[in-house]
Structure 1
Amino acid sequence: MQRLLTDHKTITKTRLEDIPSAPLGEGQARLKLDSFALTSNNVTYAASGFAIGYWNFFPTGIEGQGLVPVWGTAEVVESDSAELVVGTRLYGFYPLAEELVIRPQPDGHGGFVDAASHRAELPAVYNRYTPVRSGNPADDHMRALLQPLLATSYLLFDWLMDNACFGAEQIIIGSASSKTGLGLCKYLAEPAERTYKVIGLTSEGNRSFVEGLGACDQVLTYDEIAQLPTVASVYVDMSGNAQVKALVHSTLGAHLKHSSAVGISHWDQSQPKIKVEGVKPQFFFAPAQIAKRREEWGPGMMEKQITAAWKRLAEDASSWLDVKVHTGIGSAAGVYGALAEGTANPRDGHIITL
């Protein structure tokens, strides 16, 4: 079995490793990956591996080396579980490797959870595996690329609506060219009657791409932050660039009502020691919003909203997404490296097939 290890301290440093497949224990099942997506989301998982606990999902047994989590589809190729039969295909959270062994338990909603002891205290949303039909690989690819990212986008939108946008007249999205960023821009633009404007921040190189989405009332480059209107604002930071965040805060001052940290795609510029003016940035943890809505609406309702939302945006994905398919775990190193180094084209959606 091959897997791509990532250095905990230098997340651009990876190495391919061959290891023997572990024999199954009682009640376990072996899942062989068919395909998975690589996006800036995976860079965030690596950059916040300790702070949020992403390194804990798939222990490597090697000090200082981790497996970056990915979203994808796998097939059960061996099972000692009465709950999960060979041939079942499951969409969910996997290591950047060719296979995963889980201890499946039914979740009561037609899916399964990995009941492995080391995952018991980790966020439930990452432990669920959903059966999917065999069929067009393109469906697997779009699901892996868009569902996790646009789910976060929609949860951010729902959270903002839940908080009446903190009274903001404008919502500023940092790294608006990212899939999660563009998704949030599009969801924010949907309400027919809204009291806020959508401002997208991006690099000069990605400006035309973000403008072409048609979701932002205004697009500014990072060099133009000083032009932000000084009105009641919310800043949603997808990149984690500390200098950009500090400039947004200093430009808006007391007009900034809330500052939310979501992603760390600009992980190498995060510099957590840089102080910012005004409100203290707060990390947005998507599973917390899911848990809140489950309590308020009952099980399954939020999931239905998320599914409908990401599929709605996926209908016109061809206008802003080019799917690039790569073969073999070995090809993941270059793709992940480009994402981590910030050189990837924002239009590209990368799939690794095995």
Structure 2
Amino acid sequence: MKTVLVDQSDITRARVTEAPNDPLGPGAARVRLESFALTVNNVTYAATGDVLKYWAFFPSGVEGQGIVPVWGTGVVSESLCDDLPEGTRLYGYFPMAESAILAPEKVAEGVFLDRAAHRAELAAVYNTYSVVRGTPRHEDHLRALLQPLLATSYLLFDWLMDNDWFGAEQIIVGSASSKTGLGLCKFLTEPKDRPYRIVGLTSAGNRAFVEGLGACDSVLDYDEIATLERVPSVYVDMAGNAEVKARLHTHLGDALRHSAAVGTSHWDKFAPPQDLPGPKPQFFFAPSQVAKRREEWGPGRIEAQITAAWKRIAADADTWLDIVTHDGMDSAPALWADLAAGRTSPRDGHVVRP
């Protein structure tokens, strides 16, 4: 089995390693991956792998080398689980590898949880696998590329709404060209009587792309932060660029009502929390909002809203997303290096077919 290992001390470096398939234990199932997405979101998993335990989902057993989780579709190629026969196709959270071993437990029709002991204390949303039937490959690719990212976008939107937008007159979305960023911008346009303006922050090279989405009231380069209006504001930071955050906090000061840290697409410019003017940045962890809504609304409702939401945004994905496929695990390290170094286009959605 081929697996991609990422250097935990320099996450731009990745290599393919090969090892025999481990035998299945009682009740286990082996899933052979058909395809998986690679996005900047996966780079964020690596950049925050120790703090948020992303390295713990699929232990590599190699000191200093980690296996990055990916979202994708696979088929059960071997099974000792009565509820999950061979040939079943699953969508979910897998290692960047040709196959994975799960300890599946059926929890609802078409839904399984991985009950592996080492995953028991990890976020349950990542341990859930859904049966997929008869979906075309294009739909599989869109799901892997967009569902995890747009789910986070929607949960951010739901959380902001849940907090009455923190009284903001403008919501500033950093790294608005990222798929999570553009998804949030699009969801923020949906309320008919929204009390806020949507401002997208992006690099000069991606400005035309963000403007073309039509989801922001205005789009600014990072160099234009000083032109932001000093009105009650929320900053949603997808990039994790410490210098950009410091300039924005310094400019807005007490006008900034909340500063949310979501991603680290600019992971190489990340820095530990600093003493900044305005509110202290707080990390947004999407599974926490899922857990809150499950407790308030009961099981299933927030999941249904997330599914409907990401499909709304994905409906016109062909106008702003180009799916680029890569064949074989040996193609993954070079693609990973490009993603980690920020050398990919925001229009491109990369899918690896092992």
Q: Aligning the two structures, in what range does the TM-score lie when normalised by the shorter sequence? A: over 0.9
8 Å CA contact 1:89, 1:134 repeated in 2: no
State how 1:185-334 maps to structure 2 within 5 Å: 185-272=185-272, 274-334=274-334
**CA offsets 1:120-167 (integer angstroms, 9 cap, x no match):** 000000000000013310010000001000000000000000000100
8 Å CA contact 1:173, 1:199 repeated in 2: yes
Shift of 1:110: 3.0
1:46 paired residue number: 46
Shift of 1:336: 1.4
8 Å CA contact 2:13, 2:333 repeated in 1: no
State how 1:177-188 maps to structure 2 within 5 Å: 177-188=177-188
Output the amino acid matched with 2:40.
S
8 Å CA contact 1:37, 1:141 repeated in 2: yes
> What are structure 2's unaligned runs of at least 5 residues?
none
8 Å CA contact 1:67, 1:96 repeated in 2: yes
8 Å CA contact 1:246, 1:275 repeated in 2: no
2:93 paired residue number: 93
Output the amino acid matched with 2:127.
N
8 Å CA contact 2:30, 2:100 repeated in 1: yes
8 Å CA contact 2:14, 2:336 repeated in 1: no
Shift of 1:83: 1.9
Task: Confirm whether residue 10 of structure 1 aligns to residue 28 of structure 2.
Answer: no
Output the amino acid matched with 1:104.
P
Shift of 1:193: 1.1
Output the amino acid matched with 2:247.
L
- Counterpart CA distance in 1 for 2:67 and 2:282 is 27
- Counterpart CA distance in 2 for 1:346 and 1:253 is 31
SS at match of 2:229: coil
SS at match of 1:46: helix
SS at match of 2:271: coil
SS at match of 1:278: coil
1:20 paired residue number: 20
1:154 paired residue number: 154
- Counterpart CA distance in 2 for 1:135 and 1:280 is 45
> What are structure 1's unaligned runs of at least 5 residues?
none
Shift of 1:274: 4.2
Shift of 1:343: 1.2
SS at match of 1:280: coil
Identity %: 62
- Counterpart CA distance in 2 for 1:138 and 1:241 is 33
8 Å CA contact 1:33, 1:99 repeated in 2: yes
**TM-score (norm. length: structure 2):** 0.99
| RMSD value, Cα | 0.8
**Greater shift in the superposed pair: 85-94 or 109-118:** 109-118
**CA offsets 1:171-222 (integer angstroms, 9 cap, x no match):** 0000000000000000001111110000000000000000001010010000
SS at match of 2:305: helix
Shift of 1:317: 0.6
Output the amino acid matched with 1:250.
T
Output the amino acid matched with 2:319.
S
Output the amino acid matched with 1:248.
L
Task: Confirm whether residue 105 of structure 1 aligns to residue 100 of structure 2.
Answer: no
Following TM superposition, the consecutive aligned residue runs of length 4 or more in structure 1 with deviations greater than 6 angstroms are none
SS at match of 1:323: strand
SS at match of 1:159: helix
- Counterpart CA distance in 1 for 2:63 and 2:276 is 35
